[in-house]
Amino acid sequence: MLRLDGVSVRYGEVLALDAVDLAIAGGERLTVLGPSGSGKSTLLRAVAGLEPLAGGSISWLGRDLAGVPPHRRGFGLMFQDYVLFPHRDVGQNVAFGLRMRGDRQADMERRVAEVLEMVGLAGYGRRRTDELSGGEQQRVALARALAPSPGLLMLDEPLGALDRGLRRRLTEDLDELFSRLRLTILYVTHDQEEALALGQRVAVMRDGRIDALQAAEELWRRPATEFAARFLGLANICSAVVSAGRAATPWGSVPVPGGTPDGERRVLLRPDGFTPVAGGPVCGTIEARHFRGERHHLRLAVRDAPPLVVHADWADVPPLGERLCLDIDPRSVLVLD
Amino acid sequence: MVDVLTRPFVAQVAWFTLWQAVVSTVMTVGLALPAAYVFARFSFPGRRLLGALAIVPFVLPTVVVGAAFLALLGPRSPLNEWLETTLGVARSPLRLEHTIWAILLAHVFYNYAIVLRIVGGVWAQLDPRLTDAARMLGASRWAAFRQVTWPLLRPAVASAASIVFLFTFTSFGVILLLGGPRFATLEVEIYRQTAQLLDLPVAATLSLLQMGSLLALLLLYSRYQQRLAVALRPAPSPTARRPRGASEWLIVGGVLAMTVVLLGAPVAALVERSLSFGGGYGVGNYAALFGPASTALFLPPLRAIGNSLVFAAIACLVCLVLGLLASIVIARWRGLAGQAFDALLMLPLGTSAVIVGFGFIVGFGALGGLLPFDLRTSPLLIPLAHALVALPFVVRAVVPVMRSIDGRLREAAAILGASPARAWREVDLPLVGRALLVGGGFAFAVSLGEFGATLFIARPDAPTMPLAIFRLLSQPGALAFGQAMAMSVLLMAVTALAVLLIDRFRSGAAGQL
């Protein structure tokens, strides 16, 4: 459906997008995850036609989009802080796209009511946009983008301006809405939970390039690159020499999955793979201990090694300052290259 | 009074006043809107400098504007000299100085910065993604402008247009200098009736007509503003960016070139003429300013410069003291009384310099019997009138800053042992100081350039620089013209310098005008 071939976008001297290749199938939901400045918003703007390409091409349904202005692409774009039209009420905001394509008044009213209902704002049509809460504005922006039934819906950090609790709830709402409408979605976020919850596939961006592109579960289980792993919060990464089924890391000698070839490798220890074992291979002093409800987040000071992050979901976590020895499940040891 | 108002010439003058103001406003807005767009949306080399220079015409004394346009379009214009030599035609093929075109162009030159600043300021605050959002919903470039940008910009355009209309409706110096005998606005006619025809009743009636129209205008404007006001969320980050692609560079380049020519040509012509002396170039005109009494002025030109500086200093001082006291009162009295006092002090802005001058003559004439001395002949009269004209600027600069001072700062000072007076001196005064400096600078600049009121009340033997320029320009002869040019350049330089300094100061904590 949507195809990007070597797409580059330049802001003055800066290459914001650097030869990006990407393909999205019809009805697929792809999330783009990355730190700020990695080019993910630029990617959306390029697809939308709001940024001129410095190179490459974008095609939709097999048709090259070069020279097609944004208003003729038939895409929807929802902005981070919504960008609602301040001089129009909720209904007029939602109706804008319908009016632009010349719908009849009666059709317009029906569609506006339908979409507002869909996002849980039935009866809000006459409200002014500045009377709404952040969550309500977010829904209006979504309704406005959905109203003309765009072939591709792009969302740029749509939940970024909301507080944590609301974000969780809306993530679930969006997930259900997307499934129900079978939309083709390109969703940009810097929040890994959102990216994993909403995307069938996730593209991790770094410095204008796609660093990793994997199915969501696969990315979480086995991130393809060190950058992606670190961005997902997996920080226990080091170089280690693998031989005879074990890796000699600075934290201690740990088992690796069967079939790992010997030699110098980048190795990742998942923080949730540890169990306390007297005389275990990884020992250190508990330097920090944060209770997070389902588990404790520990930071272990290990001699001659960087601090080790451990997520402890077992009972009787020792207090701060205690020495602790651990073993790790070989399935939680990932060899990155 | 009714008898005066029904005379045909009054209808003629009123009609001319109205239509020239409408046409000037439409031209100014039309020419300045593209520049507002370019300055709001694009960053380019020299943007800050050009933006600062673009306000210079607005602060130039009207006499200097008149002189500059005479230099550009009059019989001694460098354009004309060039046309004469190249075409070999008889004298001065291009004569615009007594045409409506000179007046309209001067009004555009003068008021361009108002539209550029007000509309450009709002445009820069307008989130460009609003347009993007409209485009993504299927709006073409033009539809997005019409449906989104324009409705959001309209209050600012209306606001700027109202101010331009007000200024051109009350235009005096420019029309007196460039219009010749054929064109008269209400202002010019009030002056003629007073000074030349000595018909005070007619002048008084015309003044009332003028003030009535202005009042009606201000009321209309404030109702319109209330109806249209839309709360804008300011754009999250600076919205200006480099132009991309040939077409954007072309737009930016074209608009900037037009702006530079429009605003630069009259100033350039003024400077060129001031340096043109005896068939070549030199500083002869400037040297003459320091010479003996000229035949046109009947006194050494240096005296006029001295008068102007002394008057400006006094006016500035009076303005600072009165402005500070008035601001304290306005900032403290939050109720109706404060608002009424605030509105009263803004009155000089809503009337016009000519009416202030006329009022001084008539008012202090009426007081003549009550006072032990005749104020009308006092040299203090001029700085007092200037202070009155400039007072609104000082109050506008100081009051917002005063109001924005957190009352808890004073409480903190009190708890630390400062008496109320001491707390005010230690907390309020330093914070208000910058705004006061800005206001004082404006008062100084306004006084230096004030023409309308001064023309009424100055004694012939104590002219200010604008008056001297006016007199020199009404004399025949190359020498008087050259001196007028030189003095205009001096006045322009001092005013521009004062205002550019103020502008640098303002980009801090100071209030807004």
Cα(B412)–Cα(B393) distance, rounded to whole angstroms?
31
Q: Which residues on chain A are in Cβ contact (under 8 Å) with B130?
A: 83, 85
- Give me the half-sphere count of Cα atoms (radius 13 Å) on the Cβ side of residue A279: 0
> Do residues B1 and B114 both lie within one domain?
yes
B234: confidence class by pLDDT, cuts 50, 70, 90: low
Q: Cβ B231–A130 below 8 Å, yes or no?
A: yes
Cα(B143)–Cα(B135) distance, rounded to whole angstroms?
9
Q: What is the pLDDT of residue B229?
A: 58
Q: In chain B, how many domains are there?
A: 2
Helix (H, G, I), strand (E, B) or coil at A290: strand
Cα(A61)–Cα(A2) distance, rounded to whole angstroms?
6
Residue B513 reports pLDDT greater than 50: no
Quickly list DSSP for A244-285: TTEEEETTEEEE--TTPPSEEEEEEE-GGGEEE-TT-SEEEE
Of B282, B298, B316, which closes a domain? Answer: B282
Closest-CA distance of chain A to residue B157, Å: 16
Closest-CA distance of chain A to residue B238, Å: 15
Cβ–Cβ < 8 Å for A154, A79: no
Phi and psi (nearest 5°) for B218?
A: -65, -40
> In order of start, what are the domains of chain A with their CATH numbers?
2-231 (3.40.50.300), 237-335 (2.40.50.140)
Phi and psi (nearest 5°) for B176?
A: -60, -40
CB burial string B125-162: b at 16+ within 10 A, e below: ebbbbbbbbbbbbbbbeebbbebbbebbbbbbbbbbbb
Cβ–Cβ < 8 Å for B168, B20: yes
> Do residues B296 and B222 both lie within one domain?
no
Chosen for mutation from B44, B129, B137 (greatest number of chain A CBs closer than 10 Å) is B137
Q: What is the pLDDT of residue B350?
A: 64
Angstrom distances, CA of residue B191 to CA of A216, B107, B186: 82, 20, 9
Chain segment A268-312, per-residue pLDDT in tens:
999 999 999 988 899 999 999 999 888 999 999 998 899 999 999
Determine the distance from the C-alpha atom of residue B480 to the mean position of all C-alpha atoms in its chain, rounded to a whole number. Answer: 26
A2: confidence class by pLDDT, cuts 50, 70, 90: very high
Closest-CA distance of chain A to residue B169, Å: 32
| Mean confidence (pLDDT) of chain A | 92
Cα(B251)–Cα(B269) distance, rounded to whole angstroms?
27
> Do residues B236 and B292 both lie within one domain?
no
Retrieve residue A115's tokens: 């979409």
Residue B172 reports pLDDT greater than 70: yes
Q: Cβ B152–A75 below 8 Å, yes or no?
A: no
Retrieve residue B4's tokens: 């005066």
Cα(A210)–Cα(A230) distance, rounded to whole angstroms?
15
Q: Which of A211-220, B251-260, B389-398 has the lowest mean pLDDT?
A: B389-398
E strand intervals along B29-107: none
| Mean confidence (pLDDT) of chain B | 82
Residue A25 reports pLDDT greater than 90: yes
Q: What is the pLDDT of residue B233?
A: 63
> Do residues B6 and B92 both lie within one domain?
yes
Closest-CA distance of chain B to residue A48, Å: 7
Tell me the one-letter amino acid at A334. L
Nearest-Cα residue of chain A relative to residue B235: A83
Chosen for mutation from B136, B142, B152 (greatest number of chain A CBs closer than 10 Å) is B136
| Sheet of strand A75-78, all strands in order from the earlier edge strand to the far edge | A75-78, A152-156, A184-189, A29-33, A201-206, A209-215
Helix (H, G, I), strand (E, B) or coil at B99: coil
Residue A109 reports pLDDT greater than 50: yes
**Identity of the residue in B136, B148, B242 whose CB atom sits nearest the CB atom of A48:** B136
Chain segment B48-105, per-residue pLDDT in tens:
888 888 888 888 888 899 888 888 887 767 777 777 777 666 666 666 667 888 899 9
> Do residues B312 and B261 both lie within one domain?
no
Cα(A133)–Cα(A94) distance, rounded to whole angstroms?
17
Q: What is the pLDDT of residue B170?
A: 86
Q: What is the pLDDT of residue A195?
A: 94
B344 touches chain A (CB under 8 A): no
Retrieve residue A159's tokens: 């939940």
B229 touches chain A (CB under 8 A): no
Tell me the CATH number at B321.
Answer: 1.10.3720.10
Task: Please list, in sequence order, all residues whose beta carbon lies within 8 angstroms of the beta carbon of residue A59, skipping any fewer than 6 positions away.
Answer: A2, A3, A5, A65
Of B282, B300, B331, which closes a domain? Answer: B282
The stretch A234-246 carries a mean pLDDT of: 91
Q: Which residues on chain A are in Cβ contact (under 8 Å) with B245?
A: 52
Q: Which residues on chain A are in Cβ contact (under 8 Å) with B140?
A: 69, 71
> Do residues B246 and B321 both lie within one domain?
no
Q: Cβ A76–B136 below 8 Å, yes or no?
A: yes
> Do residues B231 and B344 both lie within one domain?
no
Helix (H, G, I), strand (E, B) or coil at B41: helix
Question: The tokens 């330097």 sit on which residue?
Answer: A287
Cβ–Cβ < 8 Å for A1, A184: yes
pTM for the complete prediction?
A: 0.79
A126: confidence class by pLDDT, cuts 50, 70, 90: very high
Closest-CA distance of chain A to residue B507, Å: 28
Phi and psi (nearest 5°) for A214?
A: -145, 160
DSSP percent split of chain A into helix, strand, coil, nearest 5: 30, 35, 35
Cβ–Cβ < 8 Å for A259, A274: no
Chain segment B461-505, per-residue pLDDT in tens:
788 899 888 888 888 777 788 888 888 998 998 888 887 777 776
Of B282, B302, B337, which closes a domain? Answer: B282
Q: Which residues on chain B are in Cβ contact (under 8 Å) with A130?
A: 231
> Do residues B349 and B327 both lie within one domain?
yes
CB burial string A145-164: b at 16+ within 10 A, e below: bbbbebbbbbbbbbbbebee
**Identity of the residue in B127, B138, B139 whose CB atom sits nearest the CB atom of A83:** B127
Q: Which residues on chain B are in Cβ contact (under 8 Å) with A12?
A: 242
Cα(B486)–Cα(B482) distance, rounded to whole angstroms?
6
Q: What is the pLDDT of residue B378?
A: 72
User: Between B229 and A209, where is the model more confident?
Assistant: A209
Q: What is the pLDDT of residue B137?
A: 93
User: Between B293 and B336, where is the model more confident?
Assistant: B336
Q: Cβ A79–B232 below 8 Å, yes or no?
A: no
The stretch A37-53 carries a mean pLDDT of: 92
Nearest-Cα residue of chain B relative to residue A10: B244
Q: How many residues does chain A have?
A: 337
Q: Which residues on chain B are in Cβ contact (under 8 Å) with A79?
A: 129, 132-133
Angstrom distances, CA of residue B297 to CA of A15, B14, B464: 67, 33, 11
Q: What is the pLDDT of residue B231?
A: 59
Residue B510 reports pLDDT greater than 70: no
**Identity of the residue in B148, B242, B245 whose CB atom sits nearest the CB atom of A85:** B148
> Do residues B422 and B358 both lie within one domain?
yes
Closest by CA to B243, choosing from B396, B111, B45, is B45
**Identity of the residue in A12, A50, A72 whose CB atom sits nearest the CB atom of B132:** A50
Structural domain for B180, as ranges: 1-282
> Do residues B10 and B154 both lie within one domain?
yes
Cα(B332)–Cα(B424) distance, rounded to whole angstroms?
13
Nearest-Cα residue of chain B relative to residue A94: B137
> Do residues B257 and B327 both lie within one domain?
no
Closest by CA to B42, choosing from B236, B234, B235, B239, is B239
Cα(A283)–Cα(A84) distance, rounded to whole angstroms?
55
Q: What is the pLDDT of residue B508?
A: 47
Nearest-Cα residue of chain A relative to residue B148: A85
Closest by CA to A10, choosing from B131, B253, B248, B245, is B245
User: Between B376 and A173, where is the model more confident?
Assistant: A173
Interface of B with A in 97-156 (CB under 8 A): 127, 129-130, 132-141, 143-144, 147-148, 151-152
Query: How many contacts (CB atoms, under 8 Å) link A and B?
Result: 73
Q: Cβ B139–A100 below 8 Å, yes or no?
A: yes
Q: Cβ A100–B236 below 8 Å, yes or no?
A: no
Spell out the SS3 assignment of B235-254: CCCCCCECCCHHHHHHHHHH
A153: confidence class by pLDDT, cuts 50, 70, 90: very high
> Do residues B212 and B278 both lie within one domain?
yes
Residue B79: Cβ-neighbour burial (10 angstroms; 0-12, 13-18, 19+): middle
Q: Which residues on chain A are in Cβ contact (under 8 Å) with B244?
A: 52
Nearest-Cα residue of chain B relative to residue A98: B137
Nearest-Cα residue of chain B relative to residue A69: B140
Closest-CA distance of chain B to residue A102, Å: 10
Closest-CA distance of chain A to residue B30, Å: 24
Radius of gyration of chain B (CA): 24
The stretch B129-150 carries a mean pLDDT of: 92
Closest by CA to A156, choosing from A186, A116, A115, is A186
Q: What is the pLDDT of residue B71?
A: 86
**Pairing relation of β-strands A252-255 and A209-215?**
unpaired
